[in-house]
């Protein structure tokens, strides 16, 4: 059931409506401390959805929400769960997002 919930939620993280996108990121930020390592089955699906467009967003609210989500992931999940998806994102992103992900890896 976790996959079904987050598969539907993932679409909101890419929503073309910036307000919906921002609220989805802010909601994800609130859920991470509650779910913690229980997110491990869906983390490889969620990180690209949270990072891809959001860390390079020119909308300051979306960018701030995305960086807050990444910070919450680093605080509440075991680092070994984040290493592979963060490495993949750092390798293939560009611009500000690549810099942000590289700093989190370091």
- pLDDT, tens only, 62-80: 999 999 999 999 999 999 9
CATH number of 1-104: 1.25.10.10
pLDDT at 85 over 90: yes
Domain boundaries, the chain: 1-104
Residue 102 to residues 42, 89, 90, Cα–Cα distance (Å):
22, 9, 6
Cα–Cα–Cα angle for 61, 6, 62, nearest 5°?
5
């Amino acid at each position: 059931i976790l996959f079904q919930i987050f598969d539907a939620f993932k679409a909101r993280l890419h929503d073309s409506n910036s307000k919906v996108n921002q609220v989805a990121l802010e909601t994800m930020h609130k859920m991470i401390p509650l779910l913690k390592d229980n997110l491990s089955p869906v983390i490889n699906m969620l990180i690209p959805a949270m990072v891809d467009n959001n860390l390079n967003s020119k909308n300051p609210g979306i960018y701030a929400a995305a960086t807050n989500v990444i910070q919450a992931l680093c605080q509440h999940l075991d680092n070994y769960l984040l290493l592979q998806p963060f490495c993949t994102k750092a390798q293939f992103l560009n611009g500000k997002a690549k810099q942000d992900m590289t700093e989190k890896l370091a």
